[in-house]
């Protein structure tokens, strides 16, 4: 039936159409009709229909678990819909094959990065399009990759570097570059900006505008409402696997959208940091050196929320890892809760009262096959105590307290952690340190890629921790979080503190400016 509606659509399956042949009136490029995807008894997507016109940016927004990623994966061919149809240029898309989707001009940059870590950037960029029996030349692929990265204005990425050695932000840029290569008709960006810094996002928007100017379309999946306001022409809000509403550019406010996503009146707000009651120092370190950290000194007061800003790859991840003892480090002086230490390891850090929420919840944070309860208890396992069921029932009070406090949506402590949505997984990594008399908590961008409601629950939990007198060191890629929720912000640049912002000087512009290496005149 969609074929009848779109009978006039241009020649199909030709990704590269010369400019100027397109009709001026909006024409549907992609029509998704009544998409349904069920995983056993779980209905991830139940009857989603929308269309994306040529030359427009369509935003898909919704909370985690609302079905955005599943929809994006169905469009990209990574997941076959249970029922429903997708048509590109009037031709039905052969579902369930990424290769076929790519050939139809539909390309996707995935949220969970789809790059091979042991391949070089050049290999990642060139291999997906070659047939297996084709000749492969390192030299040629490197040259082609260098040219592609050059045209896409990403000269700082070395095509010979293995992807595993790049920062998360650079990996995301490579992922986007791969989707852009070959001029897609429809580009799907599934949370593709989640690790990007403001200049990275500006770069992405520039590429999107170039693509749409040539008649390509973009489906933009994101949690960041500011980005959607800037780039999206139209949008659809998903909630519980259904389309809850649609919006057009300029016709919405943050609060409206958030309540549409949450299905209730909810305001987007940042809590204020709680007032400081003591001047006690929770953690102090001077001249901390580690791989990528070149002499950082800082001190976190008890009950203080100290933000860490800066562009990705300027030593934030390394700083947190060094402070937790996950990477070897040395310092001139180092105290935790007044106790002088010469160095630390993760085991000792937990004993000293330090908690750590790492960067990658799936790789470093959770044992996905193990249960929710066991994942919460991970730092508190002792070799000589009971495990499994007896331990879970003994700790039931604490576990259910944490699950309630963070409103973790789970079927109970025995559910496998891997079956939770991203935001709820992040809550587990965070929750294991709550109510455990911590001195300092180190947070590595805990709100990356999680939905608005989960974010606000995490903000509340972080503020609660500070109220209890815990020092919080919080690295965030979202400047707004740093400005609103932190007492103080240190901005890192090339592995050192370039500026410390507090009170009047703590503004979004100042944080971004310092991150670019500009030190504001005092």
Question: Would you tell me which residues interact with another protein (CB under 8 A)?
Answer: 77-78, 97-99, 101-102, 110, 112-119, 123-124, 127-128, 130-139, 142-143, 146-147, 149-153, 155, 159-160, 162, 178, 210, 289, 291, 294, 328, 330
Residue 422 CB, shortest distance to another protein, in Å, is 16
- Can you tell me the distance from the alpha carbon of 115 to that of 511, in angstroms, rounded to the nearest whole number? 31
Are the CB atoms for 52 and 58 separated by under 8 Å? yes
- Can you tell me the distance from the alpha carbon of 384 to that of 393, in angstroms, rounded to the nearest whole number? 17
* Half-sphere exposure of residue 336: CA atoms within 13 angstroms, side-chain side: 23
Of 69 and 447, CB closest to another protein: 69
Count of beta carbons in the 10 Å neighbourhood of residue 150: 11
Task: Give the containing element (helix H, strand E) for 393.
Answer: helix 388-394
Of 123 and 304, CB closest to another protein: 123
Report in angstroms the alpha-carbon separations of 344 from 37, 67, 179, 322: 48, 42, 42, 8
Of 25 and 133, CB closest to another protein: 133
Count of beta carbons in the 10 Å neighbourhood of residue 383: 5
Strand partners, 50: 32
Of 134 and 382, CB closest to another protein: 134
Residue 233 CB, shortest distance to another protein, in Å, is 23
- Can you tell me the distance from the alpha carbon of 263 to that of 256, in angstroms, rounded to the nearest whole number? 10
Strand partners, 306: 473, 488
SS (H, E, C) 455-509: HHHHHHHHHHHHHCCCEEEEECCCHHHHHHHCCEEEEEECCEEEEEEEHHHCCHH
| 237 phi, psi to nearest 5 deg | -100, 125
Of 149 and 443, CB closest to another protein: 149
Report in angstroms the alpha-carbon separations of 76 from 88, 421, 428: 11, 20, 30
Are the CB atoms for 476 and 317 separated by under 8 Å? no
Of 158 and 464, CB closest to another protein: 158
Of 178 and 432, CB closest to another protein: 178
Of 142 and 498, CB closest to another protein: 142
- Can you tell me the distance from the alpha carbon of 379 to that of 387, in angstroms, rounded to the nearest whole number? 13
**Tokens read off for 307:** 């933000």
Of 195 and 463, CB closest to another protein: 195
Residue 158 CB, shortest distance to another protein, in Å, is 8
Residue 189 CB, shortest distance to another protein, in Å, is 14
Residue 69 CB, shortest distance to another protein, in Å, is 12
Report in angstroms the alpha-carbon separations of 7 from 1, 91, 194, 215, 496: 10, 10, 38, 19, 60
> How far from chain centre, in Å, is Cα 501?
25
Residue 153 CB, shortest distance to another protein, in Å, is 5
Residue 142 CB, shortest distance to another protein, in Å, is 5
> Taking Cα atoms as reference points, which of 267, 236, 238 lies closest to residue 253?
267
Residue 501 CB, shortest distance to another protein, in Å, is 27
Residue 459 CB, shortest distance to another protein, in Å, is 32
Residue 14 CB, shortest distance to another protein, in Å, is 19
Of 83 and 151, CB closest to another protein: 151
Are the CB atoms for 293 and 329 separated by under 8 Å? yes
Of 210 and 502, CB closest to another protein: 210
Task: Give the containing element (helix H, strand E) for 98.
Answer: helix 98-103
Of 3 and 118, CB closest to another protein: 118
Of 20 and 132, CB closest to another protein: 132
> Taking Cα atoms as reference points, which of 274, 353, 309 lies closest to residue 480?
309
Report in angstroms the alpha-carbon separations of 287 from 146, 323, 334: 38, 12, 9
Residue 393 CB, shortest distance to another protein, in Å, is 33
Looking only at the bridges linking them, the beta strands covering 354-357 and 91-92 are: unpaired
Residue 8 CB, shortest distance to another protein, in Å, is 30
Residue 420 CB, shortest distance to another protein, in Å, is 18
């Amino acid at each position: 039936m969609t074929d009848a509606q779109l009978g006039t659509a241009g020649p199909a399956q030709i990704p590269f159409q010369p400019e100027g042949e397109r009709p001026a009136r909006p024409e549907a490029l992609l029509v998704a009709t009544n998409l349904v995807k069920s995983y056993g008894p779980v209905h991830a997507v139940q009857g989603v229909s929308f269309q994306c016109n040529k030359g427009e940016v369509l935003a898909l927004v919704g909370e985690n678990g609302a079905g955005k990623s599943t929809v994006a994966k169905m469009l990209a061919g990574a997941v076959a819909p249970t029922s429903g149809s997708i048509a590109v240029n009037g031709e039905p898309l052969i579902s369930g094959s990424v290769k076929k989707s790519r050939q139809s001009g539909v390309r996707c940059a995935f949220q969970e990065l789809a790059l091979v870590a042991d391949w070089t950037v050049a290999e990642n960029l060139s291999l997906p399009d070659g047939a297996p029996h084709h000749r492969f030349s390192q030299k040629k692929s490197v040259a082609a990759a260098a040219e592609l990265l050059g045209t896409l204005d990403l000269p700082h990425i070395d095509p010979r570097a293995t992807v595993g050695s790049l920062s998360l932000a650079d990996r995301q840029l490579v992922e986007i570059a791969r989707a852009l290569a070959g001029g897609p008709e429809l580009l799907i960006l599934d949370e593709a900006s989640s690790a990007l810094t403001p200049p990275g996002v500006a770069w992405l928007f520039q590429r999107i505008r170039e693509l749409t100017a040539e008649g390509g379309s973009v489906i933009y999946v994101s949690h960041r409402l500011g980005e959607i306001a800037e780039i999206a022409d139209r949008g659809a809000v998903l909630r519980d696997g259904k389309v809850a509403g649609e919006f057009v550019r300029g016709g919405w406010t943050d609060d409206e959208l958030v309540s549409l996503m949450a299905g209730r009146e909810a305001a987007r707000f940042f809590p204020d940091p709680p007032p400081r009651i003591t001047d006690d120092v929770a953690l102090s370190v001077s001249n901390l050196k580690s791989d990528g950290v070149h002499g950082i000194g800082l001190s976190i007061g008890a009950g203080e929320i100290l933000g860490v800003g800066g562009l990705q790859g300027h030593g934030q991840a390394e700083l947190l890892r060094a402070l937790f003892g996950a990477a070897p480090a040395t310092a001139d002086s180092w105290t935790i809760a007044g106790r002088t230490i010469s160095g630390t390891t993760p085991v000792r850090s937990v004993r000293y009262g330090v908690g750590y929420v790492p960067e990658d919840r799936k790789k470093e944070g959770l044992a996905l096959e193990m249960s929710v309860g066991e994942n919460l208890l991970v730092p508190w396992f002792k070799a000589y105590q009971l495990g499994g069921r007896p331990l879970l029932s003994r700790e039931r009070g604490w576990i259910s307290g944490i699950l309630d406090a963070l409103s973790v949506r789970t079927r109970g402590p025995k559910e496998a952690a891997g079956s939770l949505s991203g935001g709820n997984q992040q809550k587990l990594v965070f929750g294991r340190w709550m109510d455990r008399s911590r001195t300092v908590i180190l947070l590595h961008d805990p709100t990356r890629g999680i939905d608005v409601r989960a974010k606000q629950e995490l903000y509340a939990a972080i503020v609660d921790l500070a109220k209890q007198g815990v020092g919080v060191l919080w690295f965030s890629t979202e400047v707004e979080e740093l400005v609103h929720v932190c007492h103080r912000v240190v901005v890192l640049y090339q592995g050192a503190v370039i500026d410390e912002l507090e009170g009047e000087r703590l503004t979004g512009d100042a944080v971004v400016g310092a991150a670019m290496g500009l030190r504001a005149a005092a």
